[in-house]
Amino acid sequence: MTPPGLTLALSALLFGLGVTGVLVRRNVLVVYMSIELMLNAANLAFIAFGRLHGGLDGQLFVFFSMVVAAAEVAVGLGIVVAVYKQLHSVDVDQLNLLKF
């Protein structure tokens, strides 16, 4: 397989692991870290495709996606702390979160 192919396989596996983490874990912080793993897998795919196509689009998207992730984490952890102060728990099940 070509390097982009290998990188894409790696990114698919990392993405799958991230989704698993979101669905399996109940600790909100670990769930959020798993979401970061998913984003990282997507970034990896962007870099691989960027190398395949040439040009700057892939790498600049990754740059912006990191900016977005940083902003989202800042707000997200703020909300986690606010919830923890009220409920003294960061358990997804106790919050009735992710009810499928």
Partner 1 sequence: MDFRPPDMNLWAALPTAVVGATALVTLLLSVLRPAGAARRSISFTLFGLALAAVGCLPAAIFRPGPSFQGMLVLDPAAVLLSLLLLGATAVCVLLASRYLVHDGVDAAEAAVLLTLGCAGMLFMVSAGNLLMVFIGLETMSVALYILAGLAGARDRTSHEAALKYLLLGAFATGFLVYGMAFVYGATGSLDLREIGARIAGGGAAPGFLAVGLALLLIGLGFKVALVPFHMWAPDVYEGAPTTVAAYMAVGVKVAAFMALLRVFNVAAGGAAASWQAAVAWLAVLTMLVGNLVALAQTSLKRLLAYSSIAHAGYLAVGLAAGGAAGAQAVLFYSVAYGFMTLGAFVVLLALERADDKPQLDDLRGLRRRHPLLAAALATFMFALAGIPPLSGFLGKWLLISAAVQAGQVPLAVAAVLCSAIAAFYYLRIVVYSYMREPADDASPVTLAAETRQALAACLIGTLLCSFPFGLWLLSAAGWAAGALR
Partner 2 sequence: MTTGFAICFLVLAAVALAAAAKMIFSHHPVHSALYLVLNLCASALIYVLLGAPFIAIVQVAVYAGAIMVLFLFIIMYLNLGLAQDVADARSRRATALATAGLLAVLLLAGGVVRWSGDLAGRPQQVAAGQQALAAGQAGLPGAPAATPDAQAALQAARAAAQPQPGQAVTVEQIGVALFSRYALPFEVASLLILVAMIGALVIARPQLQRESALRKEVSS
Cα–Cα distances in Å, from 33 out to 4, 21, 40?
26, 8, 10
Distance between CA atoms of residues 67 and 31, nearest Å:
20
Which residues make Cβ contacts (< 8 Å) with residue 81, sequence separation at least 6?
none
Q: Is 48 in the site for partner 1 (CB under 8 A)?
A: yes
By CB under 8 A, is residue 7 in contact with partner 1?
no
- In the complex, the residues that contact partner 2 under the rule CB under 8 A are 1-10, 12-21, 23-27, 29-30, 32-34, 36-37, 40, 43-44, 47-48, 50-56, 59-60, 62-64, 66-75, 77-82, 84-85, 90-91
Residues 71-90 as x/- pattern, contact with partner 1 by CB under 8 A: xx--xx--xx-xx--xx---
Q: Which two tokens stand for residue 21?
A: 């983490």
